[in-house]
Amino acid sequence: MGNTNVTTLHKPASAQYPIHDLISHRWSPRAFSDQPVDQATLKSLFEAARWAASAANKQPWNFIYATRENPEAFERLAAILVEANSVWAKNASVLILTVAKRGEYAGHEYTTYYELGMAVGNLVTQAVELGLATHQMGGFDKAKAIADLNIPEGYDPITVLAVGYPGNHETLPETLREREIAERTRKAQDEFVFEGSWK
């Protein structure tokens, strides 16, 4: 079993207003232990995604995952990552590729990506509840993902998630350690929330 005695997972948000603990404690570490994630736990993550809000109940989200217990499938997913992500994400217990079915409504194609985002939001929040760490990545080769993972026409790979139990930040390359322990920051609400009209 891997090293689960880690403090880097506990970096709650410095929220200006009250928010749920599951939201406060969700962040994106890069250090993962070698403790496997069992299938029942994975099913809970995907079940949370399954119950996301969906326009006309189309549910345009899809997920391709691999665990380290299946090295061939895991390597296939890891191989689509850019090097800057691969260097740490390959240590996660699970990799998940998120895929959106392209929109069916002219002028509203973007909603499928929005809905996939909501499904992933459910998934990563459920992960916090289960003691898991998640890190979402846009840095991967989409063409390679489509070819190597047999993604059919009409579906777009959007992100890759690294999932696992938190690990020790000291195991990361030196260039990433400071980012792992740095204080979390966000824009203030008055920078992105406007009442009545844009500013």
Task: Read off the pLDDT of residues 23-58 as tens digits, 9 standing for 90 and up.
Answer: 888 877 888 999 999 999 999 999 999 999 998 899
As for how many domains the chain has, the answer is: 1
In a domain, 198, yes or no: no
Q: Is residue 190 part of a domain?
A: no
Structure confidence at residue 6 (pLDDT): 43
Is the residue at 82 inside a domain? yes
For residue 77, being part of any structural domain is answered with yes
Reduced to 3 states (helix: H, G, I; strand: E, B; else coil), residue 64 is strand
pTM of the model: 0.90
- Residue range(s) defining the domain that contains residue 78: 21-184
pLDDT at residue 2, rounded to an integer: 42
CATH number at residue 66: 3.40.109.10
- Residue 95 CA to its chain's centroid (Å): 9
pLDDT at 110: 84
Regions of the chain with pLDDT less than 70? 1-9, 106
Tokens 């326009």 correspond to what residue?
A: 55
| Within a domain: 4 | no
Give the three-state DSSP class for 115: helix
DSSP 8-state symbol, 123:
H
Per-residue pLDDT, 9? 55
